[in-house]
Amino acid sequence: MVKIPSSEITPEHLYLSRRAFMVGAGSLSAAALIAAGCASPSLPGAPAAAAGAEAESNAASAAPRITFSELPEALSYDEPFATSDTDDLGDALNSYDEITNYNNYYEFSTDKQEVAVLSTNFNTLPWQVEVTGLCNKPTTFDIEDVVKRFTQEERIYRLRCVEAWSMVIPWVGFPVGELLRAVEPKAEAQFVKFTTIVRPEEMPNQRRAVLDWPYVEGLRMDEAMNDLAIFATGMYGKPLVVANGAPFRLVVPWKYGFKSIKGIVKIELTDTMPQSTWMLAAPREYGFYANVNPEVNHPRWSQASERRIGELGRRDTLPFNGYGEEVAHLYAGMDLRANF
Ligand SMILES: Nc1nc2c(c(=O)[nH]1)N[C@H]1C(S)=C(S)[C@@H](COP(=O)(O)O)O[C@H]1N2
Ligand SMILES: [Mo]
């Protein structure tokens, strides 16, 4: 049996149970309380956790659960993308089934293997992305226009979740900087704030106080303008499935996965550092930067190594997730322990 770290079994589970107690004293309904409680079935090392680990280790071989013919034609690409078998380090790509069936998307579920099923009825069309704030040309884009107007390219990136698992994913998308340049940022714009859609009818956990909705994330302007930061619209040459953030999500490969916000409907240029959802939820555990850093542990688990989905052993975690050459200069002179 493969040993899975407790960190991974129920993501952020201690946080969730703490929150259930906190809000339970106030306004939260009994149903919501139970829901939050259910998201935290066990403490690290408890027998129930071991059972969960067993189930999780089978994720890689689970049968696909989505009918991919349902992907919207309006968001598909003219050109086929030449998928390489590996990333820049020679690591094999994860399979389409792995990438689409093991997801963090708390709006649907805190169970990574349940997101695919619970998200099949979510509507990705019509979809608009409002780009606003400190810019000369605030614009609202229809997603079909985004896919046509900005040249879509393949980017094979490692994704390293803060829970210490990882995947290699062949995204299709385009640099964040291209979209930002289109709205002409003002000089005062120092940060970019991203917001996920609110649609409780289609996102079951938005009917519960699992997190403060909508999910919000942010980048410093120079991080957003770095060529590695992309908006993804597809994966493996096809439009994204909802579980991976369709139709429009951020991918910032040198940061922990929670920065790569899904289902984006609003992008705001601002002079103030945005407070992200996970910063607000657990400030001691999740900072604004969230750069992958094997030397700075999560307060409840080590970040020195990770489990690549589909592999048995563990691998060493690389500084900046292996993208240091491209991005380390963004943090020159900064204390990366204080700015975790
Ligand atoms: N809106 C939203 N975006 C989100 C999340 C979420 O719960 N809600 N989870 C994040 C986390 S923790 C991770 S690891 C990645 C997972 O992306 P993937 O499922 O495409 O691999 O999405 C991130 N984006
Ligand atoms: Mo994550």
Residue located via tokens 């429009």: 248
pLDDT at 45: 27
Q: Domain with 265 in it: what CATH number?
A: 3.90.420.10
pLDDT at 1: 46
pLDDT at 268: 98
Specify the residue with its C-alpha closest to ligand 1, atom 19.
103
Ligand 1 cavity residues, CB under 6 Å: 103-107, 159, 161, 196, 215, 244-245, 257-258, 260-263
334 CA distance to ligand 2 middle (Å): 24
Domain membership flag for residue 336: no
Phi-psi region of 163 (alpha: psi -120 to 50; beta: other; left: phi over 0): alpha
Domain membership flag for residue 122: yes
pLDDT < 50 stretches in the chain: 1, 12-64
Closest ligand to C-alpha of residue 194 is: 1
Choose which residue among 260, 279, 286, 292 to substitute to test ligand 1 binding: the one with the highest number of ligand atoms within 8 A of its C-beta. Answer: 260
Domain membership flag for residue 124: yes
- Read off the pLDDT of residues 272-321 as tens digits, 9 standing for 90 and up: 999 999 999 999 999 999 999 999 999 999 999 999 999 999 999 999 99
Domain membership flag for residue 1: no
Domain membership flag for residue 236: yes
DSSP 204: G
Report CA-CA distances (Å) from 111 to 14, 115, 118, 290.
Answer: 15, 7, 10, 22
Domain membership flag for residue 295: yes
Atom of ligand 1 nearest to the CA of 105: 7
Domain membership flag for residue 339: no
Atom of ligand 1 nearest to the CA of 245: 20
187 CA distance to ligand 1 middle (Å): 31
- Angle of CA points 58, 59, 64, to nearest 5°: 120
Q: How many structural domains does the chain have?
A: 1
Find the domain containing 124 and state its range: 6-331
